[in-house]
Amino acid sequence: MLRKKIELQNPFRVERVGWRVVTVALAAALTLVGGVWNTFPAWGEGLTPQQVARLKLATGVVVSPDGGTVAYSLANPRIPGVDEDGPAFSHLWVADVQGTDKPRPFITGQASVSSLSWTPDGKGIAHLARRGGDTKTALYVIPIDGGEARKLFEAETDLSGYAFSADGRQLAFLSKTPTPKQVEDRRNQGFVQEVYEDGLLPTRVGVVTMEPDGIINAKARYLDLDGSASELHWSPVAGDSRLVVALAPTPTVDDDYMARKVTVVDTVANDGKGEVLARLDNPGKLGQVTWSPDGKTLGLISGQDVHDPSEGRLMVAPAEGGPLVDLLPDAPIHVKAFAWNGNDLIAVSDDDLGTRISLIRRSQTGASETVLFSDQAVNVSAFDLVGSTLAFVVDTPAHPPDIYVATLTPDGTLQDQGTGLQGKLRRLTDSNPWLKTVELAEQTAETFTARDGLKLRGVLIKPLGVTENEPSRGRHPLILAVHGGPEARVPNGWVTSYANPGQVAAARGFAVFYPNYRGSTGRGVAFSKLGQGDAAGKEFDDLVDAVDHLVNLGLVDSTKVGITGGSYGGYATAWCSTFYSERFAAGVMFVGISDKVSKVGTTDIPNEEYLVHALKRPWEDWTFMLERSPIFHATKSKTPLLILHGKEDSRVFPGQSMELYRILKTLGQAPVRLIFYPGEGHGNRRSHSRYDYHLRTLAWMEHYLKGPGVTAPPPPMEIEYPPIVAPASGSSQP
């Protein structure tokens, strides 16, 4: 059974309407209240930052062994100003597949669960959590028929993964190697120095025997494996002692990205220390790994080669080792997840702006694909299959991620359910019922042509009140929202979050465009490689070409264009605020790159940067690296730039923001401000940081695209935080 949680593409990657609202939004000028920037003094209809801060998002789903029930995780955000600061709680809910009963909350409140899985007997839902006085993440099971969760197992350190054997008698788990006692003793004495990278401890694979009643009394044993482990799965054959794991040579992030190898291990060989039976030569990045039902074949998602920017090829190989076979070698898609269906496979793929669900039939001569479902306005972020029951986490332009179900017929088609998406995917949950009464701006797929003739696509949200059947009354300010990666994409689904202005900006009269520039995923390997070795070249020319397209449509005012993005999207923002400064009247850069030379030496993924992006080392062409750095073009900048960065970012070191800030501040040609978020890394996780980021971004765009203009000083440093109020019973407003 597939137990695969897929994260929403990227926090930086990355809807319908009445024109009276635009009038209200345009009239709501920014005001100063007691020296504090009152960002949103008046709201019309449309989505607000307060509402975004309350959105509940389904993040994972698993189907029960009998196919009749799904368990799913629901991210429930902490409320800034009300709850203690921290990331969203991850709650456990259960729903009947037939939809005859309302979804039931199993674990809620100030608690979080992860890594959901049904126990082999279907009587309980296993999960990782810290409860009560726990000092480590442990494995718990909550009975499906009611009762409290009980702790099943804990190791010496936090558990990061687990898997039950097919007969339910063995439990395999992942946990990091404990810190040596000598090191702990020295730390207690005050010697707290850290050895960079070489001091990292690998993740181990442990095995423990379970009693028939599910109680664990035996002591865990650890397999003697060379490397740091992840992706843990027992063979589905009852009594089989084989595990498949992914092993990286070291515990560094870089090796986890680029060097994990699929490894089959006999867990009882060598007196329980384990023996490697096979190791696949899977190339480049690695995603999901799963056994076939008979235990003879392994399916996996990997890169096409070591230079493939993203895992996305569906491959199979004999479990005893052997060559990998790409089942869809020429498909212009990126496979996101799959599940075995006998000898065949069901695959869910990113297909341009949408989603494709396919049946892959294997034969002696290769494989054939039958598309079961395809929609360019649907995004699937997680998937599970048991028997004939398929469950998905789905978002669309009309709602954030929720649970949908489908039924696979014996002949390999999706049953017509008479409702839902194309009559095949039926919505099972509605986690934000109040959203139905919020007026959403029109969201569409948009095609434009780059200056070299390449056809590109993106997601356009028009200002609230502007539709294709109702011509706009004049031109509008634009926020160009650029996804990170660049090996990512923005789907034509729900694209509004703390880091994506989307519907909130549209409610205030902005057009918002998410361009999937060359190098994005969803269009196959060749397309995703188009930007390699040409950082900030044609890929960022595409962004300007997207703006020109929207201007030529008559939708956008060319003098009121802003740009924002995080990570590689932050790099794009910095580039367009310097090299292309004459085209952009405002920029908001988040955890972005400004100096390609220093970035290589301070990131935790330098080898990934070399293999799938740069294709050469900095010392092979220092001049090129410098010329593709925004700091090199800083003297051209006239764009007001807001820079935001997590203070503990190990991916893009905060110094990247400091360098650009200091140069722009010294030049004094345009307003610049730098905001650090203590305790945050490469993307904000805590609710207060997210809310602040969201409000500051919108305030900056309001000020420079609809306010006094690019020559005005920046808005005050302190902003007002509108209170977030829970919806009354039956209310449509949170």
For 142-188, write each residue's pLDDT tens digit.
999 989 999 999 999 999 999 999 999 999 999 999 999 999 999 99
**Residue 569 located in a structural domain:** yes
Q: How far apart are the first and last CA of the chain?
A: 37
Secondary element (H or E) of residue 732 = none
Output the pLDDT for position 24.
Answer: 29
CATH number of domain containing 446: 3.40.50.1820
**Residue 129 located in a structural domain:** no
Sheet (strand 57-63) strand order: 57-63, 69-76, 89-96, 104-107
Output the pLDDT for position 2.
Answer: 36
Output the pLDDT for position 215.
Answer: 75
Sheet (strand 366-375) strand order: 334-341, 344-351, 354-363, 366-375
For 661-670, write each residue's pLDDT tens digit.
999 999 999 9
- Domain count within the chain: 2
User: What's the mean pLDDT in 267-287?
Assistant: 97
Asked if pLDDT for residue 26 goes beyond 90, the answer is no
Output the pLDDT for position 4.
Answer: 36
Which residue in 181, 186, 164 sits closest to 173, CA to CA?
164
- Domain of residue 573: give its range: 19-45+438-705
**Residue 387 located in a structural domain:** no
Which residue in 453, 541, 597, 624 sits closest to 531, CA to CA?
541
**Residue 186 located in a structural domain:** no
CATH number of domain containing 238: 2.120.10.30
Task: Give percent of the chain with pLDDT exceeding 90.
Answer: 88
**Residue 375 located in a structural domain:** no
Domain end call among 309, 326, 343: 326
For 460-504, write each residue's pLDDT tens digit.
999 999 987 565 568 999 999 999 999 999 999 999 999 999 999
User: What's the mean pLDDT in 306-323?
Assistant: 97
Encoding tokens for residue 499? Answer: 């880091």
The answer to whether the CB of 337 falls within 8 A of the CB of 289 is no
Encoding tokens for residue 170? Answer: 């063995």
Q: How far apart are CA 579 and CA 450, in angstroms?
A: 18
Output the pLDDT for position 575.
Answer: 99
Q: How far apart are CA 340 and CA 328, in angstroms?
A: 15
Encoding tokens for residue 19? Answer: 């024109």
Tell me what the pLDDT averaged over the chain comes to.
92
**Residue 655 located in a structural domain:** yes
44 band by pLDDT with thresholds 50, 70 and 90: very low
Upper half-sphere CA count for residue 592 (Cβ side, 13 Å):
35
Residues 721, 490, 617: CA angle, nearest 5 degrees:
100
Asked if pLDDT for residue 8 goes beyond 60, the answer is no
**Residue 668 located in a structural domain:** yes
Rounded to the nearest 10 degrees, what angle do helices 538-552 and 568-576 cross at? Answer: 70
